[in-house]
């Protein structure tokens, strides 16, 4: 079995080498880097689905929160924005949270009846208007500051690597809220609730310009690795490329990508090691016992809802970290790019194809599916060109060739359905 | 007079749009709830089924338009609708045969079926993109208004106009007919009764000789028809963009869950609850208040509780409240 798994990974490496040789090494490294990030996301989902059987349909939102963390942590501190209205926004958000907490206390303390409903409604509506009154002024003031380049509260000016764990924490906090409400109900309700929270997180990121400029995007995020242009100017780097006879421009972009790869590999390996340790610990056995038979596990005194909440929060934290890493790699935060098909359901395909429950399987599935996702497009249009060759020139032919790039969705669906049908345990089945 | 003006304003911007959107959600929610009641899983592919049905209808509409066939004041798409329904029904029946049936016979867990449905979602999404692309398509034709704002103003002498678009009237009328037909079918016909029996208790239904294959087949036929009708009405009313149909999944699920998953009456009520909350919360109430309140009291802001970009947050909030306080929904659907 082990030899087969090694062969699968070797085959994957060979495909990347082929891309490097036939297309370009830049592209191969690009696929490799995104593969690493996808592997981390798949790992997070595998913790939820593979260990505990929880359906999370909100990965895009949680990854988006990770990306948001990068902006909030790593962009420079902006005292002007805070002075103009940042403190008002913070005050309003604190007030909103306090009002919600007060409403929950009130619901618990007062005896049920019309008096409780009236008090609750009055509290919520009253605090909502106060909240909007404080918040709107602050948000307007912040957004008015030089809106074409700034107009947001900025960040904390901390090192960007710190944003990765913070992204995980942010996503985990959101997951805790969703899990608190939807866990313990029917299994599909969690799916629907997570689908909803993702949609909301992303619409907040798109529309709250004071937070991270919304759809105007934040570009030029700080990097944990050197810039290409600095490398091209450094004498030692130029001497190195001259010695090996490589073009400095290509070499610099490859060097930067390799630095990212190194960072990502360290994170992936650490998370993989932790997940494997967790899986083979008593805790992991308990989770599997719960997954396989909830009734029996409950009879043994396990608090299923609590365990599920733990694992849901943990898995989401991993997804948040991956989202932060991806935003760092891109160097920009574009809320519109977090599409559910690409970020939620594609990760599902990775986990299922790789083998639910098996961490190495998730990593393999992530690389394989990401590779397919990237390469299906050129392959599809090449194939379509050949197939459409005998057709007469005209609307039908150009439509066929143009729509070839949409093939990837079809292919991914077919891959998922075939694996589910004929090999539901995936490429590397869990023991 | 001011009260009348406020009322007309409210009709024009809140009640009429919310009713037609509610009818569209109700039709979508009925499809989700039927799959849930009979086949026992949440169908994530429903939004893309709607998109597929609409795509075929649009293609046939264009074909009719190119031949010069039209439906007078009504949109041509109505003529093309039967073709869209037939194609969608064929597609979902094929999907059931090729995909879902295998898992049904194996009696896998519902959550596994949800994953299978995401695979189907990918395929249908890919098909739609492949056939018609990702862009916006506007395929409404025929007369645009039943009553225009200026006609209404001239007739009533009010300051505020009331416009009723043909697509709005059409949505409401079609939804009424479809829902009436569906309920007649479920309550009186033999097949409809066996479907309800199957949904209530599968084992007892099988014991009394109901053919599960037939029930499932009829269910998919109905789901295909409902999805296509809902999709075409939504597309006529707004516009057709495949991604928007995927996003409709959330309000549709909210509608079905609010009413009680598996309960058709609940899905309809849920659709209207979601639509009315969405529209009232995102509507700017300033103008209505300016008619009703004395001039000194009119607030300075727009009095809009949430920006329209957050309409999904409204469906979600309703969903969460229902999940927290009444997980079986308003009309006692299935739980666990």
What per-residue confidence (pLDDT) applies to A43? 96
Please report which confidence band the pLDDT of residue B335 belongs to, taking 50, 70 and 90 as the band edges. Answer: very low
A226 and A140 share one domain: no
Cα–Cα distance between A173 and A62 in angstroms, integer? 10
Partnered with residue B164 across adjacent β-strands are B147
Would A333 be classed as within a structural domain?
yes
**pLDDT > 90: percent of chain A:** 48
CATH code, B15: 1.10.3470
A135 and A161 share one domain: no
Would A230 be classed as within a structural domain?
yes
User: Which domain does B92 fall in, by range?
Assistant: 2-325
Would B150 be classed as within a structural domain?
yes
Please identify, among A153, A173, A205, the residue that sits at the C-terminal boundary of a domain.
A153
A172 and A206 share one domain: yes
Contacts of residue B215, defined as CB under 8 A and 6 or more positions apart, other chains included, come to B38, B191, B194, B195, B198, B205
User: Which domain does A94 fall in, by range?
Assistant: 78-153
Please report which confidence band the pLDDT of residue B159 belongs to, taking 50, 70 and 90 as the band edges. Answer: confident
CATH code, A32: 1.10.3470
Q: What is the pLDDT of residues B165-214, one digit of tens each?
A: 888 999 999 999 999 999 999 999 999 999 998 988 888 888 988 898 99
For chain A, the average pLDDT equals 89
Would B201 be classed as within a structural domain?
yes
A127 and A12 share one domain: no
Would A181 be classed as within a structural domain?
yes
Q: Write out the two tokens for A344.
A: 């939620």
Nearest-10 crossing angle of helices B46-67, B249-259: 120
Would A429 be classed as within a structural domain?
no
What per-residue confidence (pLDDT) applies to A1? 59
What ipTM was estimated for this complex?
Answer: 0.90
Using CB atoms, which residue from A195, A207, A406 is nearest to B130? A406
Q: Do B42 and A192 touch (CB under 8 A)?
A: yes
Would B331 be classed as within a structural domain?
no
Q: Do A181 and B320 touch (CB under 8 A)?
A: yes
* C-beta separation of A42 from A350 below 8 A: yes
Q: What is the pLDDT of residues B63-103, one digit of tens each?
A: 999 998 888 888 899 999 999 999 999 999 999 999 999 99
Q: Which has more pLDDT, B325 or B26?
A: B26
Would A27 be classed as within a structural domain?
yes
Would B162 be classed as within a structural domain?
yes
For chain B, the average pLDDT equals 89
What per-residue confidence (pLDDT) applies to A169? 96
Would B288 be classed as within a structural domain?
yes
A59 and A88 share one domain: no
Written in H, E and C, the secondary structure of B149-171 is: HHHHHHHHCCCCCCCEEHHHHHH
A136 and A58 share one domain: no
Q: Do A136 and B250 touch (CB under 8 A)?
A: no
Angle of CA points A329, A335, A338, to nearest 5° = 75
Using CB atoms, which residue from A341, A403, A421 is nearest to B125? A341
- pTM, two decimal places: 0.91
Contact map slice: A 230-269 vs B, CB within 8 A: none
Query: For A183-193, what is the mean pLDDT?
Result: 81
Q: Which has more pLDDT, B164 or B92?
A: B92
Angle of CA points B299, B309, B127, to nearest 5° = 160
User: Is residue B299 over pLDDT 90?
Assistant: no
Please report which confidence band the pLDDT of residue B19 belongs to, taking 50, 70 and 90 as the band edges. Answer: very high
Least confident of A342-346, B136-140, B175-179: B136-140
Please report which confidence band the pLDDT of residue B286 belongs to, taking 50, 70 and 90 as the band edges. Answer: confident
Q: How many domains, chain A?
A: 2
Would A355 be classed as within a structural domain?
yes
Question: B257 vs chain A: nearest CA distance in angstroms?
Answer: 9
Please report which confidence band the pLDDT of residue B5 belongs to, taking 50, 70 and 90 as the band edges. Answer: confident
Please identify, among A105, A127, A153, the residue that sits at the C-terminal boundary of a domain.
A153
Q: Which has more pLDDT, A1 or A167?
A: A167
Q: Kindly identify which residue of chain A lies nearest to residue B301, measuring between CA atoms.
A: A133
Please identify, among A101, A132, A153, the residue that sits at the C-terminal boundary of a domain.
A153
Question: B42 vs chain A: nearest CA distance in angstroms?
Answer: 7
Q: What is the pLDDT of residues A237-272, one digit of tens each?
A: 888 888 888 888 888 999 999 999 999 999 999 999
**Best to test chain B binding among A56, A108, A189 (most B CBs inside 10 Å):** A189
User: Is residue A122 over pLDDT 60?
Assistant: yes
A50 and A92 share one domain: no
C-alpha closest to that of A92 among A129, A145, A141, A147: A129
Q: How many domains, chain B?
A: 1
A328 and A268 share one domain: yes
Would B213 be classed as within a structural domain?
yes
Cα–Cα distance between A159 and A70 in angstroms, integer? 9
A263 and A192 share one domain: yes
Would A129 be classed as within a structural domain?
yes
Q: What is the pLDDT of residues B93-127, one digit of tens each?
A: 999 999 999 999 999 988 889 999 999 999 999 99
Q: Write out the two tokens for A38.
A: 């996808």
Query: For A292-306, what is the mean pLDDT?
Result: 89
* C-beta separation of B275 from B18 below 8 A: yes
A306 and A332 share one domain: yes
Q: Do B127 and A352 touch (CB under 8 A)?
A: no
Contact map slice: B 85-104 vs A, CB within 8 A: 99, 102
Q: What is the pLDDT of residues A300-343, one digit of tens each?
A: 888 889 999 999 999 999 999 999 999 999 999 999 899 888 89
Q: Kindly identify which residue of chain A lies nearest to residue B134, measuring between CA atoms.
A: A406
Would A427 be classed as within a structural domain?
no
A201 and A284 share one domain: yes
A265 and A317 share one domain: yes
Maximum mean pLDDT: which of A131-135, A139-143, A361-365: A361-365
**For residue B68, what is the DSSP state?**
T
Cα–Cα distance between B99 and B34 in angstroms, integer? 18
User: Is residue A189 over pLDDT 50?
Assistant: yes
Q: What is the pLDDT of residues A57-101, one digit of tens each?
A: 999 999 999 999 999 999 888 888 888 888 899 999 999 999 999
């Amino acid at each position: 079995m082990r030899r087969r798994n090694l062969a699968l990974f070797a085959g994957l490496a060979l495909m990347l080498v082929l891309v490097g040789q036939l297309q370009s090494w830049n592209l191969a490294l690009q696929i490799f880097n995104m593969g690493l990030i996808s592997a981390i996301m798949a790992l997070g989902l595998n913790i939820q689905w593979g260990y505990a059987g929880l359906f999370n349909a909100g990965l895009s939102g949680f990854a988006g929160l990770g990306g948001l963390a990068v902006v909030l942590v790593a962009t420079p501190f902006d005292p002007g924005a805070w002075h103009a209205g940042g403190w008002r926004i913070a005050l309003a958000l604190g007030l909103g949270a306090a009002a919600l907490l007060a409403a929950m206390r009130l619901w618990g303390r007062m005896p049920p009846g019309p008096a409780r409903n009236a008090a609750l409604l009055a509290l919520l509506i009253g605090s909502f208007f106060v909240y909007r009154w404080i918040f709107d002024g602050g948000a307007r003031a912040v957004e008015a500051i030089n809106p074409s380049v700034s107009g947001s509260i900025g960040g904390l000016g901390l090192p960007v690597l710190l944003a990765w764990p913070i992204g995980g924490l942010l996503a985990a906090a959101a997951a805790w809220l969703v899990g608190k409400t939807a866990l313990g109900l029917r299994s599909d309700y969690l799916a629907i609730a997570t689908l909803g929270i993702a949609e909301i997180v992303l619409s907040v990121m798109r529309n709250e310009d004071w937070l991270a400029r919304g759809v105007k995007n934040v570009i030029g995020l700080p990097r944990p690795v050197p810039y290409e242009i600095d490398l091209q100017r450094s004498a030692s780097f130029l001497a190195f490329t001259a010695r090996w006879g490589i073009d400095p421009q290509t070499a610099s972009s490859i060097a930067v990508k390799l630095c990212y790869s190194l960072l990502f590999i360290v994170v992936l390996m650490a998370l993989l090691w932790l997940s494997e340790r967790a899986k083979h610990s008593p805790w992991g056995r308990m989770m599997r016992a719960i997954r396989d038979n909830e009734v029996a596990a409950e009879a043994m005194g396990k608090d299923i809802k609590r365990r599920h909440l733990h694992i849901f929060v943990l898995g989401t934290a991993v997804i948040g970290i991956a989202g932060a890493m991806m935003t760092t790699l891109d160097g920009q935060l574009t809320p519109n790019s977090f599409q559910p098909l690409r970020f939620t359901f594609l990760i599902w395909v990775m986990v299922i194809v790789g083998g639910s429950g098996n961490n190495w399987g998730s990593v393999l599935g992530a690389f394989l599916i990401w590779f397919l996702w990237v390469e299906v497009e050129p392959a599809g249009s090449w194939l379509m060109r050949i197939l459409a060759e005998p057709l007469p020139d005209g609307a039908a032919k150009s439509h066929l060739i143009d729509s070839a790039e949409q093939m990837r969705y079809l292919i991914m669906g077919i891959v998922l359905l075939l694996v589910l049908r004929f090999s539901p345990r995936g490429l590397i089945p869990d023991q | 007079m001011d009260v009348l003006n406020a009322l007309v304003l409210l009709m024009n911007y809140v009640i009429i749009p919310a009713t037609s959107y509610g009818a569209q959600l109700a039709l979508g929610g009925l499809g989700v709830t039927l799959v849930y009641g009979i086949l026992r899983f949440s169908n994530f592919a429903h939004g893309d089924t709607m998109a597929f049905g609409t795509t075929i209808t649009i293609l046939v509409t264009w074909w009719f338009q190119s031949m010069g066939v039209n439906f007078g004041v009504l949109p041509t798409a109505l003529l093309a609708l039967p073709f869209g329904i037939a194609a969608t029904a064929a597609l979902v029946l094929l999907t059931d045969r090729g995909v879902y049936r295998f898992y049904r016979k194996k009696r896998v867990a519902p959550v596994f079926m949800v994953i299978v449905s995401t695979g189907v979602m990918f395929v249908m999404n890919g098909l739609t993109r492949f056939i018609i692309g990702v862009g916006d398509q506007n395929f409404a034709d025929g007369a645009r208004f039943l009553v225009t704002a200026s006609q209404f103003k001239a007739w009533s002498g009010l300051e505020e106009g009331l416009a009723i678009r043909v697509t709005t009237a059409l949505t409401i009328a079609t939804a009424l007919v479809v829902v009436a037909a569906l309920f007649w079918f479920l309550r009186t016909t033999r097949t409809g009764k066996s479907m309800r029996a199957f949904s209530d208790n599968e084992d007892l239904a099988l014991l009394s000789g109901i053919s599960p294959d037939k029930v499932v087949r009829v269910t998919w036929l109905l789901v295909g028809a409902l999805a296509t009708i809902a999709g075409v009405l939504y597309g006529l009313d707004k516009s057709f963009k495949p991604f928007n149909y995927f996003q409709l999944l959330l309000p549709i699920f909210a509608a079905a869950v609010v009413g009680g998953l598996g309960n058709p009456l609940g899905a309809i009520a849920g659709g209207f609850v979601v639509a009315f909350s969405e529209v009232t919360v995102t509507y700017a109430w300033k103008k209505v208040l300016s008619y009703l309140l004395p001039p000194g009291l009119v607030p300075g802001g727009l009095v809009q509780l949430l920006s329209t970009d957050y309409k999904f947050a409204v469906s979600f909030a309703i969903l969460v409240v229902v999940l927290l306080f009444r997980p079986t929904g308003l009309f006692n659907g299935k739980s666990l």
